[in-house]
Amino acid sequence: MRAPRRWIPLPWHTAQAGEIVHVLWSDYYGAAMFGDDDEIARLPYKRCRLEIVATAASSHREVNFILPGQVVHYKGSFCFRERFELPSGTSVGLWHLVGFKLRLTPDAIGSVPSEDEILDRARGRSDRVSVI
């Protein structure tokens, strides 16, 4: 019989796309991600994309070079240690990202409309063809 995954006695939820997650430090739990409702936030699956919203100073050299707008990938957890892949390809732990704010981004990015489509929308032209 497996032990339950929920070993933290605090309320938790699975983070949704667009939700901003704060990485904070607790003397009892260590590094933890808190979501919009001040609950522990769990990431939904491996390789999900997290956009950097705000940064903080870190003990890891490469983490200090991360800028807002860059994307890190969640690699999963190993023995309750969350791992993330930086844009440079380096793997770091959640404790290196304490003080950061991350936004869970959807995997599918919509295509950028062409310039003509944008101008047609601005001019109020319809995409429909009228048949006489």
Question: Is the four-CA dihedral 45, 12, 101, 20 of positive or negative sign?
Answer: positive
- At 119, the pLDDT band (50, 70, 90 cuts) reads confident
**Alpha-carbon span 46 to 60, nearest angstrom:** 22
Contacts of 128 (CB under 8 A, 6+ apart): none
pLDDT of 117 reads 81
Average pLDDT over residues 123-130: 62
Instruction: State yes or no: pLDDT of 1 exceeds 50.
Output: no
**Digit-coded pLDDT (tens) for 84-100:** 999 888 999 888 999 99
pLDDT of 100 reads 92
- Per the structure block, which two tokens stand in for 97? 């990202």
- At 114, the pLDDT band (50, 70, 90 cuts) reads confident
Instruction: State yes or no: pLDDT of 101 exceeds 90.
Output: yes
pLDDT of 4 reads 45
Q: In sequence order, what DSSP letters do the residues of 41-62 get, joined into one string?
A: EE-SSTT-EEEEEE----SSTT
pLDDT of 53 reads 92
Instruction: State yes or no: pLDDT of 23 exceeds 70.
Output: yes
Beta bridge partners of 104: 50
CA dihedral 88, 92, 96, 101 (to 10 degrees): 60
